[in-house]
Structure 1
Amino acid sequence: MKHARRIAVPLGIAGVTALALTGCVGDAPTDPSAAPGASGGTAAEGCEAYADYGTFDGAEVNAYGTILDAEADRLNESWAEFEECTGIDVVYEGSAEFEAQINVRVQGGNPPDLAFFPQPGLLASVVGTGSVLPAPESVAANATEYWNETFQGFGTVDGTLYGAPLMSSVKGFVWYSPSVFEENGWEIPTTLDELDELTATIAETDVTPWCVGFGSGEATGWPGTDWLEDYVLRLHGADVYEQWVAHEIPFDDPRIVEALDRVGDLIKNPEYVNGGIGDVSTIATTDFGEAGLPVLDGECAMHHQASFYEGFWSDDNSVEVAEDGQVWAFLLPGTEADAAAVTGGAEIVAAFNDSDEVVAVQTYLASPEWANSRVSLGGVLSANSGLDPANASSDLLRQAYEILQDPNTTFRFDGSDSMPGAVGSGTLWTGMVDWISGADTQSVLSTVEQSWP
């Protein structure tokens, strides 16, 4: 996931490979999925980069996802030139109730043309209804060329690719104010034990160590799952993490209990939260997008959230994200220094309609041209290997991109997003709310274990 969210940017990024489509510009495609846009037409001046997509005067494609507010505005801008050149009107609807409503719409026979699934587990469950279409040839070609096998796997169910990623994120960043850290002489921790020590040190000052929010509309609770997943991976390694996500070990295995208790040592301690907001009880209802903002005022020292949170510091990218800027971030460390294990996420673009215009949009969203367009607008990242890192809005996002592309990185997809929807976006979300509201770790995890389908 997971996230609720101005001049069109030229998409012809130097050095980026052209569309991963079969045939040459001007060929008459025999397979619409090989070269979307069977209606043909001559590209307008300045639209040569979109010629292979064809022209669709007056066509409309509706897309549905979790991206809201300012991030939705940037999303709409990212495909504005594509719309102008192809004639396709991409109508995006964002919803904080996506996880529930996508099932309602599918069951009611009213699915969107495209859905941006923030959870592979949810995608798999909807694929099970028979309503999601396998990725067309052009999307599969882009996925193969521009994403590594790990990311391709997120859009694959039972060996069939249903969609390529849209945006991507590295989770487990801890956001902070460089000036506040410098003024107080606080050092960036290199291990989890050092993070505990730093938290205790900060608590002795007039700054609260952490600000936290689990709120996210119908998806309330997911920020808590990110904490748990990060600690499972860092404390017990990738093998245990994978076994837990696949339910090869019980959800309430002692190692998972230990991980959540370690999280609780930080964010259930009334001395450590909730800077600029209130006490521990406010975490359950504070919107995750607002939760980190007290860092800017020095009311709290740290906020745990993914790389995409860069887009939440301001609506207009006016907050400087830099090592000497208003905010910066370090990765949640491991048990030892220089651990290279991270969690992350991505949206998967899946289709319920195989019309030429829908295939054209789905293919464009899987291209490096779209990735460069959206990333250049700021605040987000893509794992598309055709992305020019120079287009990222900060060194932090460029660092995150290097992490995603580094073969030595132990990358694991967000655990709750990979679990069956009934758990990952169901009992685990509600369980995290119960836990932060006072329920004990063992009972919460045991309840989730009993809910596993």
Structure 2
Amino acid sequence: MRRLAAGTIGLALVVTGCGSSQETPQATGGGDAASAECQPYAAYGKHPNTKVTIYSPIRDKEADLFQENWKTFSECTGIKITYEGTGEFEAQIQVRVDGGNPPDLAFFPQPGLLARFAKAGKLKPAPPEVEKLTDEGWSPDWKKYGTVDGTFYAAPLGASVKSFVWYSPKMFQENGWQIPKTWNELMTLSDTIAAKGIKPWCAGIESGDATGWPATDWIEDVILRDLGPDGYDQWVEHKIPFNDPKVQAAVDKVGAILKNDKYVNGGYGPVKSIASTAFQEGGVPITEGKCAMHRQASFYANFWPEGTKVAEDGDVFAFYLPGNDTSSKPVLGAGEFVAAFTDRPEVKAMQQYLATADHANGRMKLGTYVSANKGVDLAGAQNPIDKLSMEILRDPQTVFRFDGSDLMPAAVGAGTFWKGMTAWINGKDTKTVLDDIEKSWPKS
């Protein structure tokens, strides 16, 4: 979703093949549920016979868990929550707004896209209560992503750590393979696996209108390692052009894996199969012994086949995507941000609830979920990758950078960059792709 999709984190975001639209029923008149059950929601007031619409890239199982989590809030406040998840969020939110039919709230996986609507005067500044919760619960960096031209619009929701490589502990143990600590070790391991007749990597970048984003994550992770955090920031801010030789070298470095027929696409076919393989299915061949590694975010824990144990001694686990040496371990991540197109009292109440640690803790108890909110109880993590991700996000020593494409102007980050990487997987050369993306960067 990014996804986290979406994404989704992100925050992919998280997106899949078809949309969903559901309503969370509220108690008649609001607040008619048992008084003890409703006591935690008293601060949000009573809003009988009101409705709040939410538009989001988060769908399927994850969307169901969100709606289960806020069911009691809905019953106690009287707010009927209508939720719609879509795989075409980035394109359709613009259509909705241009058509005069914006949702009350939207879960934005891209701060760059959020900024476009804020600059156009379409979003409402966040209520003071939401800003206070954000100041208390998140670091200033996270608040910055929801702030545009000095005005705070959107509190963070979920989060994800993207710098992970998923693998089968059993497969590694049986073959005597060690977790690589450097990029050279990673490439040597890939050669070793390929020599056994197993494709070392599997991947999928198909994601509806957002097709290509998993490939951009690869590029961002490598740029973060090769150019360092400052160089990464300069690239995201377009102080380093997209077609700079350093960027081209990073893309070709990723191409040594993703465009190498000896390495991919385990369980699916040749290199071009990556573009038509749904990102949700990308890593599944690991559970079938047809692939050894899959680079994907923490939220991918949601997409393994039912019954798959995520643990260091389980069916699948993940290790940190290594850099050139072990002296630094920068982390790429993402998340979603809750912004409002309307400011009715019931909308503000919902926006405030979503910004609380109580909401994050409740959601986490229901299934795989990561939050960067400092009030979240790590003991409630549903798998060790979620717990590890939140420990990384909280560690003051962590050098964290938000997904670059999500921060860029939407025309590039959610447009030409995604499309360019898809064309690249399908055979277009690196220089032409990067030249095209560079030309698409807005002039002002």
Question: Normalising to structure 1: TM-score of the pair?
Answer: 0.90
Following superposition, the deviation at residue 339 of structure 1 comes to 2.3
Following superposition, the deviation at residue 233 of structure 1 comes to 0.3
- Contact kept, 8 Å, 1:55 with 1:85, in 2: the verdict is yes
**Quick check: 1:55 aligned with 2:46?**
yes
Q: Distance in 2 between matches of 1:360 and 1:428?
A: 36
Given candidates 322, 330, 355, the residue that maps to 2:311 is 322
Given candidates 187, 192, 212, the residue that maps to 1:196 is 187
Match of 1:340 in 2: 329
Q: Distance in 2 between matches of 1:300 and 1:139?
A: 45
Given candidates 389, 398, 401, the residue that maps to 1:400 is 389
Following superposition, the deviation at residue 41 of structure 1 comes to 6.7
Report the AA paired with residue 319 of structure 1: T
Q: CA RMSD in A?
A: 1.4
- Contact kept, 8 Å, 1:40 with 1:54, in 2: the verdict is no
Q: Distance in 2 between matches of 1:70 and 1:356?
A: 29
- Contact kept, 8 Å, 2:199 with 2:266, in 1: the verdict is yes
* 1:9-408 → structure 2 map (5 Å cutoff): 44-314=35-305, 318-337=307-326, 339-408=328-397
Q: Distance in 1 between matches of 2:31 and 2:276?
A: 52
Q: Distance in 2 between matches of 1:90 and 1:314?
A: 30
**Runs (4+) of structure 1 moved beyond 2 Å?**
39-45
Q: Distance in 1 between matches of 2:41 and 2:198?
A: 52
Structure 1 residues not aligned, in runs of 5+: 6-38
Residues 290 and 41 of structure 1, relative CA distance in 2, 3 Å threshold: closer
Following superposition, the deviation at residue 384 of structure 1 comes to 0.5
- Contact kept, 8 Å, 1:175 with 1:302, in 2: the verdict is yes
Q: Distance in 1 between matches of 2:214 and 2:166?
A: 14
Report the AA paired with residue 116 of structure 1: F
Following superposition, the deviation at residue 45 of structure 1 comes to 2.7
Given candidates 419, 428, 439, the residue that maps to 2:417 is 428
Q: Distance in 2 between matches of 1:121 and 1:73?
A: 27
Following superposition, the deviation at residue 338 of structure 1 comes to 5.2
Match of 2:431 in 1: 442
Q: Distance in 2 between matches of 1:441 and 1:41?
A: 58
Following superposition, the deviation at residue 196 of structure 1 comes to 0.7
Residues 288 and 41 of structure 1, relative CA distance in 2, 3 Å threshold: closer
Match of 1:2 in 2: 2
- Contact kept, 8 Å, 1:210 with 1:303, in 2: the verdict is yes
Report the count of equivalent residues.
Answer: 418
Question: Normalising to structure 2: TM-score of the pair?
Answer: 0.92
- Contact kept, 8 Å, 1:170 with 1:400, in 2: the verdict is yes
Following superposition, the deviation at residue 441 of structure 1 comes to 0.9
Following superposition, the deviation at residue 205 of structure 1 comes to 1.2
Following superposition, the deviation at residue 127 of structure 1 comes to 1.2
SS of the aligned residue for 2:372 comes to: coil
- Contact kept, 8 Å, 1:190 with 1:338, in 2: the verdict is no
Following superposition, the deviation at residue 377 of structure 1 comes to 1.5
SS of the aligned residue for 1:445 comes to: helix
SS of the aligned residue for 1:252 comes to: coil
Match of 2:11 in 1: none
Structure 2 residues not aligned, in runs of 5+: 7-28
Percent identity of paired positions between Structure 1 and Structure 2: 55
Report the AA paired with residue 298 of structure 2: S
SS of the aligned residue for 1:200 comes to: helix
Following superposition, the deviation at residue 79 of structure 1 comes to 1.0
Following superposition, the deviation at residue 44 of structure 1 comes to 2.2
Match of 2:21 in 1: none
- Contact kept, 8 Å, 2:30 with 2:76, in 1: the verdict is no
Report the AA paired with residue 277 of structure 1: Y
- Contact kept, 8 Å, 1:169 with 1:382, in 2: the verdict is yes
- Contact kept, 8 Å, 2:31 with 2:78, in 1: the verdict is no
